[in-house]
Amino acid sequence: MEFFQQLSARDYEQIIAFNNNATGLRGFLAFHDTTLGPALGGVRIWRYATDADALNDALRLSRGMTYKASLAGLPCGGAKTVVMLHDGMRREEAFAGLGCMIESFAGRYFCARDVGITDADLAAIATTTRYVAKEPSPELGEISEHTAIGVWQGMRACLAFAGISGKIRVAIQGVGSVGHVLARIVKREAGSVKGIEGVELLLADVDESRAAAVARELGAKVIPPDEILSVNCDVLAPCALGGVISPESAARIKARIVCGSANNILTGPDAADAIAKRNIIYAPDYLVNAGGLIRGAEYFLLGIADSHPSLMKIHERTQHVLNLSLERGVSPAIIADELAEARLVRPKRFNNLTWHASRLPSPEPQNQH
């Protein structure tokens, strides 16, 4: 497909390729849509096999952010930055340079943590831009915790919709910043759900020591990463990288519910169809994993001190999507897309900036070398 045909097919607004030989910084920033307001989206660093892989990741993730914001009723759009990890990169200087580029957009884009980003990376970005969500922050809170709370609210809705009762088995793929918190919440809260009498946690992670540590903490069982998708369970929660469920892998799933925090869990519409044909309940990822975005948008755009009431609404939104899916006999993925797209029909404005000024600090002084 030609480049502009690819952009037009999903109505992408702007794609920026960036490069700096001195620091080794290179990657892509994809603005998908700012119809509803300034774009929010994380920065991801990954060792991509090709430039095309990095670009496609930015495109997929930025579109997901737009739909996530729209479905949550937020006054913002979606963007995503992917940085290409390689051995010649001077990491601190590279991320400071990325911050300069983000600052140049004057509030059109606000970034946060995504896969591979460390506290040191965020600190380096913050030396040159105000438009970055640093963690932890007493006022902002932990973004990963807000995300996990939202996923749990979606999971609760799925359990009720499926009529599951008794002791449940929940398999979590990936126990990093969000998956770990989600495991804690499920362990603590499962028994408070009507009809649920406790939970058995099954955990998998490519980092074996991390999986073992979380399992010891929560009394869980560790499952090999290559077996987690096919384990017998009530809920499968993908909380690592996206694209884990394809039509082929869907055939192996034994869970009754798929509900997790990973972005772009499905490889495409054919994977959604494959799940639906097997009567597996699917909670669209950008519906249930919106908690972190909700917190960032409410804090920086609206000046709201506590986002927990908004996180609770993920439960009712998930119920609504599942009920419509049942009524119309189509996948929840189709319903969620339609609801998100309904708010995006007016022309793009490219300058819809409404930051809550009191939330924006000046860039921090950069270390002198």
Q: Is the dihedral of CA 346, 16, 287, 270 positive or negative?
A: positive
**Which residues are tagged catalytic?**
80
Residue at 361 is within a domain: no
pTM beyond 0.95: the answer is: no
Do residues 184 and 303 share a domain? yes
Report, in this order, helix, strand and coil percent for the chain, each rounded to 5: 45, 20, 35
Token pair of 108 as six digits: 């059109």
Do residues 163 and 305 share a domain? yes
Residue at 340 is within a domain: no
113: domain CATH number?
A: 3.40.50.10860
Residue at 292 is within a domain: yes
Residue at 344 is within a domain: no
The confidence score (pLDDT) of residue 369 equals 44
Structural domain of residue 183, as residue ranges? 143-335
Do residues 46 and 79 share a domain? yes
237: domain CATH number?
A: 3.40.50.720
At 103-115, the pLDDT tens digits run 999 999 999 988 8
The confidence score (pLDDT) of residue 5 equals 79
Residues 6 or more apart whose CB falls under 8 angstroms from that of 28 comprise 15, 16, 17, 18, 54, 55, 58, 81, 82
Distance (Å, rounded) from C-alpha 180 to C-alpha 163?
Answer: 26
Closest CA to 177 of 203, 144, 205: 144
Do residues 167 and 313 share a domain? yes
Give the full edge-to-edge strand order of the sheet including 109-113: 14-20, 25-33, 77-84, 39-46, 109-113
Q: Compute the average pLDDT of residues 112-133.
A: 93
Q: Picking from 126-130, 166-170, 344-348, which range would have the lowest pLDDT averaged per residue?
A: 344-348
As for how many domains the chain has, the answer is: 2
At 137-181, the pLDDT tens digits run 788 888 999 999 999 999 999 999 999 999 999 999 999 989 999
The confidence score (pLDDT) of residue 29 equals 98
